[in-house]
Structure 1
Amino acid sequence: MKARSFPSVRSLIERLNPSYPVFVVWPEVLREKARLFIDNFPGEVLYAVKCNPHPLVLSTLHEAGIHSFDTASLPEIAAVRERFPDAHCYFNHPVKGRGAIDSAVDVYGITDFVIDHESELYKVEEYAGTDITIEVRFATDGKGAVYNLSSKFGAPPEEAVRLLKLVHERGMRAALTCHVGSQCLEIEAYRSALALARNIMDKADVPLAYFDLGGGFPAPYAGAHVDLRSMLADISATVKELGIDVPLLCEPGRALVADGCSLLLQVHQRKGDAIYVNEGVYGCLSEVNIGNFVMPARVFGRQGRALSGEPKAFRVFGPTCDSLDVMDGPFLVPDDIEEGDWIEVGLMGAYSLALATGFNGFMTDTVVSVEGRPHWLEEAMQVAEAEALSV
């Protein structure tokens, strides 16, 4: 997808002088993250489309070498396959509507499906037949993750064993999958999931097409110590140690795109220790309160005004008339910030545009790309982390 491109955020401001929020994509960063996973994960890398389905993000990752996608709905499958006809989509939602299954098979030829219950197996078989791969999802304990995704999906280990055997008996290709939870910072969670998978494989004793380790890989929000290369190396070592010899898949979302996008806001009013900006929790900043993430930020003064105040965590109000549209200290900005100044918030690639609504008529619909890398992020993240540790 072609998007309007700028050499820098400053040039974007000079050209557009935006009073509306602007979503910024940094393609070079997205390409770097894609290569990191492709080069270091010992198997096939899927992108979890739900994290950020914008066409520019999808196209950049595809160009970087990611040609397989974790899709959870018919619209996600359509968004990928109609843009990349040869892409491999995995229908990885454990509970699917019959119409969605039918169309996924009939229109897009989908052959990979996730289940965590016997009834879902029969439902998929009714529309897709038996020349398919069924991934049985087992539950993990969710330790070390911000969001425990096994509270909703995942069969207990013994049930996963039974389901794998049932899939094999009915003539389908069996596979295994799990999810350690979103924004998982503990490598032990992956080690535990791999050990549990090994145990389930041994007890089921059926041929497996692959094992999908799922997502959960973290992004470097303030206070989060993230070393993805080390994490992927540890996963590779654990796979060898456990003797897991089936093809491996993973499905990163947040870790691929979080630091590849930023959000340019404008301050529309200041009231003491509170600022009112043109984006909020009903838009791209929805996860700030849900996950309690602290993002790095930098400020551009209106008409070139230099800001030199001390970093401060303001109370930030979004643009809607709803009093719930408020965030406490999601980023640090100079304490001399005023109406008309701009704030660029980093680490905004994940669950931002994907969760944004048009509530009250406010919507972030301007998406641009910026060349190079946002080098300022590293310094801003260090400042934010130091501030967080001092509280």
Structure 2
Amino acid sequence: MTHMHVAGSIHADATSPAPVWLTRPDDVNVLTAKLWSSGVKRDSDGVVSVAGLKLTDLADQVGTPAYVLDELDFRERARAWRDAFAGWTVFYAGKAFLCTGVARWVEEEGLSLDVCSLGELTVALRAGFPPERIGMHGNNKSESELRLALQHGVGRIIVDSADEISRLERLTAELDTTARVLVRVTTGVEAHTHEYIATAHEDQKFGFSISGGQALVALVRCSNSPRLELRGVHSHIGSQIFDTNGFEVAARRTLKLLSQFTEATGLELPELDLGGGFGIAYTKEDDPAPAEQLAAGLREIVEHECRAFGLPVPAISIEPGRAIVGPSGLAVYRVGTVKNVEVGGGMTRRYVSADGGMSDNIRPALYAAEYSAALASRTSAAEPVVSRVVGVHCEGGDILVRDEFLPADLGVGDLIAVPAAGAYSRSMASNYNHTPRPPVVSVRDGRVTTLIRRETLDDLLALDAGAAE
């Protein structure tokens, strides 16, 4: 099946093909601030540094490829969301990236934590995260997941199906406890994003349909269940969303549902979760709104819709993940080969092969996600050349950065930094081609802390039952 490039048509820059949105930089050494964490800069010697540590020194210490988190930038972004949405509850979406160290940062900055698997819940609990500030997601939660959540007093469980409600009713009776729940609904909002990350249209696996009536039935059932404490409604319209337009429709439809529930039961539900999906800048063309602007827009939307339905304003929660950790992280790679390939029409494409690939960032291959890149180990006076940064894997689609202007003299041994790599890169990483996953390190005041160590071949062989024979 042919896949259309998301950038559309291409133009010719000299002899190299490039998407129409990619503009030739005046200075290839300049770092576009909105793509990087606040602690990233190019030092006087031309080397990119993060939080006071040169990436050349970091690469010598921990090797490449590696994921790097700017700790203070993460904390600053967490506080910005917390403060912008003061009076609301901000859940950090752990699926973007979670480890015990990050869970502790989230707790220390006063955010709650959203998890969606047994593994994420276990990490949160191992980190000592207060369970009453944890929300549990998942469209097919197992009994073991629900049991662990109930045993530790997780603050809320977002129920996603009638089968899950039955499991919860059985487990709460067995454990002689209660569960605080929200019902996840699909609002029919088509977020302007890739099909795989748009989650509020009707034809998908999450939640109960509002338009089909299943959502109201689920709310009434949970309300009547003696061991389920129904708190409200949850919706999520998608990911990498830059404005509040979609949230306006979602808020209107969820609040109408709350109004219908009140009419049917005489009860008012106190909570509404509008989900996450707030976007970040992966390229110069991306223009995400700051947390303060989003907060003002969402407050206005909720208050307006509550007035329209004659409802008190419920306790609102949101779930930023990528918006906090994404820009706080970068990935660093070392160049192994550079080659020019004839692509027809008198044009050539330059392929820059790095020592990572789709095993450490599957997003470009999975849904044509765009990324940027910069030469990190020095400056260059050479001309910018459109380049494609690719990985080491045995796949033609093993692309890290589809199109970027990099210096013409970039060569073997140079370091490349890819911004906005904090979200979903490590979370979605694999061992394809038996490749050990890179480490995740944080940097603060020039000092490195290992959050997740580099995998080794011994780690992989430890899972191979035949390797010990």
> Which range, TM-score by smaller chain?
0.7 to 0.9
Structure 1 range deviating more: 287-296 or 50-59: 287-296
Taking structure 1 as the reference length, what is the TM-score of the superposition?
0.86
Shift of 1:50: 1.0
Aligned-partner Cα distance in 2 for 1:227–1:372: 28
In structure 2, the partner of 1:218 is 279
Cα offset, 1:360, TM superposition: 2.3
2:264 matches 1:201: no
1:231 is matched with 294
Q: Look up the match of 1:123.
A: 167
**Alpha-carbon distance between aligned partners in 2 of 1:168 and 1:121, rounded to the nearest angstrom:** 11
> CA RMSD of the aligned region, Å?
2.4
* 2:235 matches 1:173: no
Q: Which AA in structure 2 matches 1:256? A: I
Q: CA deviation at 1:248?
A: 1.1
| Structure 1 residue aligned with 2:438 | 365
C-alpha displacement at 1:290, in angstroms?
A: 3.0
Change over 3 Å in CA distance of 1:120–1:367 after alignment to 2: closer
The unaligned stretches of length 5 or more in structure 2 are 1-48, 307-311, 341-349, 447-469
Q: Distance in 2 between matches of 1:160 and 1:213?
A: 15
2:206 maps to 1:153 = yes
Structure 1 moving runs of 4+ over 4 Å? none
Amino acid at match of 1:79: V
Contact 1:313/1:328, CA 8 A, preserved across alignment: no
- Distance (whole Å) between structure 2 residues aligned to residue 44 and residue 81 of structure 1: 20
Task: Quote how far apart the aligned CAs of 1:335 are.
Answer: 2.2
Query: How far apart, CA to CA, are the structure 2 residues paired with 1:14 and 1:326?
Result: 24
Distance 1:330 1:259, change over 3 A: farther
Question: Is 1:100 the counterpart of 2:156 in the alignment?
Answer: no
Identify the match of residue 370 of structure 2 among 275, 285, 294.
Answer: 294
- What secondary structure is seen at the aligned counterpart in 2 of 1:354? coil
Q: Please give the per-residue CA displacement for 1:10-46, whole angstroms capped at 9, x wherever unaligned.
A: 2653771765212111012111211111111241111
Which of 313, 323, 332 matches 2:386? 313
Partner SS for 1:356? coil
Matched position secondary structure for 1:182: coil
2:65 is the counterpart of 1:21: yes
Deviations along 1:158-211, whole A, 9 cap, x unmatched?
A: 221121111111233222001010112241111111111110000011332411
> Structure 1 pair 259/338, CA: closer, same or farther in 2 (3 Å)?
same
**Structure 1 residue 275 and structure 2 residue 352: aligned?**
yes
Match of 2:110? 65
Structure with bigger gyration radius: 2
Q: Note if contact 1:145-1:185 (Cα within 8 Å) is conserved in structure 2.
A: no
Q: In structure 1, which of residues 39, 48, 62 is the aligned counterpart of residue 93 of structure 2?
A: 48
SS at match of 2:104: helix
TM-score for both structures, normalised by structure 2: 0.72
Deviation at 1:7, TM superposition (A): 4.8
| 1-structure distance, mates of 2:166, 2:145 | 15
Aligned to 1:89: 134
Q: How does 1:345-384 map to 2 (within 5 A)?
A: 345-371=418-444
- Which structure shows the higher strand fraction? 2
- Give the superposition deviation at 1:371: 3.6
Aligned residue in 1 for 2:325 = 257
| Number of residue pairs matched by the alignment | 363
**Amino acid corresponding to residue 149 of structure 1 in structure 2:** T
Q: Paired residue for 2:244?
A: 187
Q: Are 1:101 and 1:128, in contact at CA under 8 Å, matched by a contact in 2? A: no
The one-letter code sitting in structure 1 at the alignment partner of 2:354 is V
1:335 has 2:403 as partner: no
What percent identity do the matched residue pairs reach? Answer: 23
Q: Which moved more, 1:190-199 or 1:179-188?
A: 179-188
User: Structure 1 residue 307: deviation in Å?
Assistant: 1.9
Question: Residue 26 of structure 1 contacts residue 372 of structure 1 at CA under 8 Å; is this kept in 2?
Answer: no
- Output the CA distance in 2 between the equivalents of 1:7 and 1:117: 45
Residues 129-151 of structure 1, C-alpha deviations (whole Å, 9 max, x = no match) = 47222211111323223321232
Cα deviation digits, residues 294-320 of structure 1 (max 9, x gap): 33322134xx5x422333332222122
| Ranges in structure 1 where 5+ consecutive residues have no aligned partner | 374-391
Q: Is contact 2:158-2:181 (8 Å) kept?
A: yes
Instruction: Using the TM superposition, give the Cα deviation of residue 127 of structure 1 relative to its aligned residue in structure 2, in angstroms.
Output: 0.6
C-alpha displacement at 1:111, in angstroms? 4.9
Distance in 2 (alpha carbons) for counterparts of 1:185 and 1:85 = 30
State whether structure 2 residue 143 is matched by structure 1 residue 143. Answer: no
**Match for residue 217 of structure 2?**
162
